[in-house]
C-alpha cells in the first residue's frame, strides 16, 4: 500500500493540537501547549481538544455528578469488587497488579493496556503504576522479542487462547504512558516518558535493534505501508486486524515525538480502515490482508467480538480530531443504521460483513462498542444506543473481562471523559 494518500497533513495536525485552546468549561479544556522543539528528545506536551462530546449529558440529560457516579460505580466493581465474581483487577505483590481474563484464566496485554488507559483517564495513578510495573516484570519478552510484551490471543470461537505478541496491547501501553506523562509528569518511581519512547521505538524499529529479522521477529509497523502486522513476525506480515489500526493514537504519537513516521501511520490507518469497512453495514472483519481483502477460513472474515474494538478506534478519531475526515462520521452512521435495522434490543453478536446474522446471542461488549460509536454519529437512532450503555449493568460473572473493559471505555467516551493528556 505504498503511496497511501494522507488525509491529515502535519501542518493540519499541529494546527489542531498546537493552537491556543478555545474557551470552555473546566472539564473539557486544558492550558497545555505544544512545544515546537524538545531539546531533551523527550515527549512534547499535547494540547487537548477544546471540547469533548458528552452524550450522557446532552442526549440523556444526565448531570455531571450522575455521570461521575455511574463511571465510578463501574470502576469500583471491576477494579475493586468481589474477586470471585466482579473484579478483573487483582493485586499481585506489594506494588504490582494485573488485569485478568478470568474466563480464560490468563493475563493479556490487551487488558493490561486498557486497564492502564482507564486508570490514567480517571486519575488513578496507583492502579496505573501497579499495572505497568507488573507488565514490565512479568510480561516483557526475552530473546529476539525483547522489548515486546507476551500476551494471549483468542481462537475464533473465543473459547480457547494461544500465546501471542499482540500489537493492540502494546499500542494501549504506549498511548497510556504518553498520557500518564502528560498528566503526572515522570518524576516519580515510574518514568512514563522513557518507557513510552522506548516502546514506540521498539514497535517501529525492532528489526534495526536486532540487526535484521531474527527468529522471525519483525517490526510491529511495516516500514513501507506503515500498517501494523497481525503479529510482529514474518509469518504474519501479510495481514493485520482492522481493530489494531488506531489512527488517532498514531497522530498523537506524531505530535508527541515530532516523528512524522507516526503521522504517515495515521494516514495509512485511516485509508486502510476505509478500505476494509463494508460500504453499507460499516462492519469490518477480524482479520484482513494488507491489500484489504478479508482473511478467509475459521471465521476471520466476519464481524466478531475482537472487531468490536474498531468501533472504539473510530469514535476516538472523531472525538480527538473533529472535522478532519467526514468519512469517520459517515462510518459511524452506517454502523448505527445497520444495528438499528437489526433491532436495538435484539441484534446479535456476529455477522457477515454484508449483514447476515451468524450468532443471535446478545453481547454486552458489542452494546458498549455501539454506544461509543454513537458518540460521533448523527442519526436520530443514536440516542437509543447511548441509553443502552447507561442502562447496562456492570458485567459480572465468568465472562466479565472483555465486556467489562469495553463497558468502562464506552462510559468514559459517552461521558466526555476519554480525553487527551
- The 10s digit of each residue's pLDDT in 181-210 is 999 999 999 999 999 999 999 999 999 999
Residue 241 DSSP label:
-
Q: What pLDDT is recorded for position 3? A: 34
Instruction: Kindly give the residue spans of alpha helices, DSSP state H, lying in 258-381.
Output: 260-276, 309-320, 326-342, 364-374
pLDDT above 70 coverage of the chain, percent: 90
Instruction: Kindly give the residue spans of alpha helices, DSSP state H, lying in 211-306.
Output: 247-257, 260-276
Q: What pLDDT is recorded for position 155? A: 78
pLDDT above 90 coverage of the chain, percent: 86
Q: What pLDDT is recorded for position 396? A: 98
Q: What pLDDT is recorded for position 55? A: 98
DSSP line for 177-219: HHHHHHHH-S-SSS-HHHHHHHHHHHHHHHHHHHTS-BTTB--
Please state the domain extents for the chain: 10-18+55-414
Residue 139 DSSP label:
I
pTM exceeds 0.85 for this model? yes
List pLDDT tens digits, range 209-246: 999 999 999 999 999 999 999 999 999 999 999 999 99
DSSP line for 367-391: HHHHHHHHTT--STTHHHHHHHHHH
Q: What pLDDT is recorded for position 15? A: 35
Residue 105 DSSP label:
T
Check whether 16 has a pLDDT greater than 60: no
Q: What pLDDT is recorded for position 61? A: 98
- Per the DSSP assignment, residues forming a β-bridge with 91 are 97
Q: What pLDDT is recorded for position 277? A: 98
List pLDDT tens digits, range 48-61: 999 999 999 999 99
Residue with grid cell 474466563, as numbered in its chain: 103
For 368, the grid coordinates are 458498549
Residues 262-281, mean pLDDT to the nearest whole number:
98
User: pLDDT band at residue 154, thresholds of 50, 70 and 90?
Assistant: confident
More confident residue, 368 or 39: 368
CATH for 10-18+55-414 (1.50.10.10, 3.30.390.50, 2.40.30.70, 3.40.50.300): 1.50.10.10
User: pLDDT band at residue 40, thresholds of 50, 70 and 90?
Assistant: low
Alpha-carbon distance of 261 to 122, in angstroms, equals: 30
Residues 379-404, mean pLDDT to the nearest whole number:
98
Q: What pLDDT is recorded for position 194? A: 98
User: pLDDT band at residue 47, thresholds of 50, 70 and 90?
Assistant: confident
Question: Which of 83-87, 146-150, 153-157, 221-225 shows the lowest mean pLDDT across its residues?
Answer: 153-157
Residue-averaged pLDDT of the chain: 91
Sequence-distant (6+) residues with CB within 8 A of 284 are 242, 243, 273, 276, 277, 278, 303, 307, 310, 353
List pLDDT tens digits, range 27-37: 332 323 333 33
Question: Which of 5-14, 89-98, 197-206 shows the lowest mean pLDDT across its residues?
Answer: 5-14
Amino acid at each position: 500500500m505504498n503511496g497511501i494518500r494522507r488525509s491529515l497533513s502535519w501542518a493540519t495536525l499541529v494546527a489542531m493540537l498546537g493552537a491556543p485552546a478555545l474557551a470552555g468549561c473546566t472539564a473539557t479544556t486544558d492550558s497545555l501547549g505544544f512545544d515546537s522543539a524538545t531539546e531533551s528528545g523527550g515527549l512534547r506536551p499535547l494540547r487537548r481538544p477544546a471540547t469533548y462530546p458528552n452524550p450522557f449529558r446532552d442526549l440523556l440529560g444526565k448531570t455531571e455528578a450522575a455521570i461521575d457516579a455511574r463511571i465510578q460505580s463501574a470502576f469500583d466493581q471491576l477494579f475493586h469488587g468481589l474477586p470471585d465474581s466482579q473484579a478483573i483487577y487483582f493485586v499481585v505483590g506489594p506494588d504490582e497488579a494485573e488485569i485478568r481474563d478470568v474466563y480464560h484464566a490468563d493475563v493479556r496485554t490487551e487488558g493490561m493496556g486498557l486497564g492502564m488507559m482507564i486508570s490514567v483517564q480517571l486519575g488513578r495513578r496507583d492502579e496505573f503504576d501497579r499495572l505497568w510495573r507488573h507488565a514490565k516484570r512479568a510480561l516483557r519478552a526475552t530473546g529476539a522479542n525483547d522489548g515486546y510484551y507476551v500476551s494471549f490471543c483468542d481462537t475464533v470461537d473465543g473459547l480457547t487462547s494461544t500465546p501471542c505478541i499482540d500489537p493492540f496491547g502494546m499500542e494501549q501501553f504506549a498511548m497510556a504512558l504518553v498520557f500518564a506523562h502528560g498528566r503526572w509528569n515522570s518524576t516519580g518511581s515510574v518514568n512514563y516518558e522513557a518507557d513510552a519512547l522506548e516502546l514506540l521505538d521498539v514497535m517501529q524499529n525492532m528489526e534495526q535493534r536486532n540487526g535484521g529479522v531474527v527468529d522471525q521477529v519483525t517490526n510491529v509497523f511495516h516500514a513501507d505501508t506503515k500498517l501494523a502486522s497481525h503479529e510482529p513476525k514474518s509469518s504474519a506480515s501479510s495481514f493485520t486486524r482492522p481493530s489494531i489500526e488506531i489512527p488517532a493514537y498514531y497522530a498523537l504519537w506524531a505530535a508527541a515525538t515530532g516523528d512524522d513516521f507516526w503521522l504517515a501511520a495515521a494516514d495509512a490507518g485511516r485509508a486502510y480502515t476505509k478500505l476494509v469497512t463494508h460500504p453499507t453495514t460499516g462492519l469490518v472483519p477480524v482479520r484482513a490482508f494488507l491489500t484489504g481483502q478479508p482473511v478467509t477460513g475459521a471465521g476471520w472474515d466476519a464481524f466478531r467480538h475482537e472487531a468490536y474494538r474498531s468501533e472504539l478506534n473510530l469514535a476516538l478519531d472523531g472525538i480527538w480530531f473533529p472535522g478532519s475526515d467526514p468519512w469517520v462520521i459517515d462510518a459511524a452512521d452506517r454502523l448505527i443504521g445497520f444495528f438499528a435495522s437489526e433491532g436495538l434490543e435484539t441484534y446479535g453478536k456476529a455477522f457477515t460483513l454484508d449483514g447476515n446474522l451468524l450468532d443471535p446471542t446478545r453481547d454486552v461488549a458489542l452494546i458498549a462498542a455501539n454506544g461509543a460509536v454513537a458518540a460521533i454519529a448523527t442519526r436520530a437512532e443514536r440516542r437509543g444506543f447511548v441509553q443502552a450503555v447507561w442502562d447496562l449493568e456492570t458485567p459480572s460473572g465468568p465472562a466479565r473481562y472483555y465486556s467489562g473493559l469495553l463497558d468502562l471505555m464506552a462510559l468514559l467516551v459517552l461521558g466526555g471523559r476519554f480525553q487527551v493528556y
